[in-house]
Amino acid sequence: MLTISVPATSANLGPGFDSIGIAVDMQLTLQVIQPSDHWRIDHPFGEEVPNDEHNLIIKTALTLEPKLKPQHLQMTSKIPLARGLGSSSTAIVAGLVLANELSGRQRSLDELLAVATRLEGHPDNVAPAILGGLVVATYVNEQVHAVKLPLPNLFASVYVPNEELLTSASREALPTSLPFKQAIAGSSVANTLVAALATQDWGVALPLLEADQFHERYRAKLVPALATIRETAHQLGIVGTYLSGAGPTVLTLGDYGQLTELQQKLQQNVALSGQYYLLPVDATGVKVQNS
């Protein structure tokens, strides 16, 4: 049986807008049950998500390999939809790897990353989903450049609100342009953040996660939990809270013990009634098993 596992991802890391992402240990798992006379995928998301060839996983697989023979698939996932944890990116990656395995074409991870980036539009989620760990990536002249940084010895406190926030709505909150001075300041913060991440200087990196100039201030009104969680963390002496992807998930990077204390404090706030996770970084990225 062919089994494919793809980790959830958290993008942006504050000022790393559309360019920095990290994989966390929350998995989408896809199994090939058997050949079928039509495409079918069993999944836990109800009728709002297609279970035929219109499903994003199958559509992506057929985009890469249109002549694939239909299969009966089973998908399980703890990654919530439309919450800023890369659910669509994990589906795209799963579909590409499925097509790669069923076709026997043996494309490299770099080749799959190039296709995934073209489909997704930017590499900040698909790159860590494929490569694992902490990845800085960009898409220039239809070429993907991805750099995997040393694995951070950190955990992620993840707060997932009950309400969806579609990426399209979150994008609409952004301005069409930034003042030159603000853009320079944002670039300066982002550049320094990458240097600190690369050298694992957490004393510099974690505060800079909260110094974004590109998107958080415009999306904050859509995600009131961001300010609440950041303020609570600061009361405990914890920095490193940011809006995950386009939101509404809020993520804090830090020490396991500190983050446990943070979650205990946050759960006392009745306004924060969503789901809590305390996750390690996924070092591997997409995994394939044949049994």
SS3 of the chain: helix, strand, coil, percent, to 5: 35, 25, 35
The pLDDT confidence band at residue 76, using thresholds 50, 70 and 90, is very high
Does 10 carry a binding-site annotation? Answer: no
Residue 108 labeled ligand binder: no
Q: Is 96 marked as a binding-site residue? A: no
Is 149 annotated in a binding site? The answer is: no
Place of tokens 């201030």: 217
Tokens of 65: 């390999």
According to the annotation, is 83 in a ligand binding site?
yes
- pLDDT score for 144: 97
Domain positions in the chain? 2-150+282-290, 155-280
Extract the runs of DSSP E, i.e. beta strands, from the chain: 2-12, 16-35, 40-42, 71-77, 134-140, 143-149, 155-160, 241-243, 250-254, 275-280, 287-290
Residue 195: pLDDT above 90?
A: yes
Establish whether 205 is an annotated binding residue. no
Residue type, 274: G
- Give the helix/strand (H/E) hosting 195: helix 180-198
Query: Between 3.30.499.10, 3.30.70.890, 3.40.1350.10, 3.40.140.10, what CATH number should domain 155-280 receive?
Result: 3.30.70.890
Say whether pLDDT at 261 is over 90. yes
Q: What is the pLDDT of residues 129-168, one digit of tens each?
A: 999 999 999 999 989 999 999 988 899 999 999 988 877 8
> What is 2-150+282-290's CATH number?
3.30.230.10
Q: Is 85 annotated as a binding residue?
A: yes
Q: Tell me, what's the pLDDT at 34?
A: 96
Average pLDDT over residues 58-86: 96
pLDDT band at 170; cut points 50, 70, 90: confident
How far apart, in whole angstroms, are the C-alpha atoms of residue 20 and residue 73?
Answer: 31
> Omega before 224 cis (within 30°)?
no
CB atoms within 10 A of CB 232: 19
- Spatial CA neighbour of 114 closest among 105, 102, 127: 127
- Is 273 marked as binding a ligand? no
Note the residue count of the chain: 291
What distance in Å separates the CA atoms of residue 211 and residue 197, rounded to the nearest whole number? 15
What does the block give as tokens for 265? Answer: 């404090």
Question: How many CB atoms are located within 10 Å of the residue 59 CB?
Answer: 17
| pLDDT tens sequence across 4-62 | 999 999 999 999 999 999 999 999 999 999 999 999 999 999 988 999 999 999 999 99
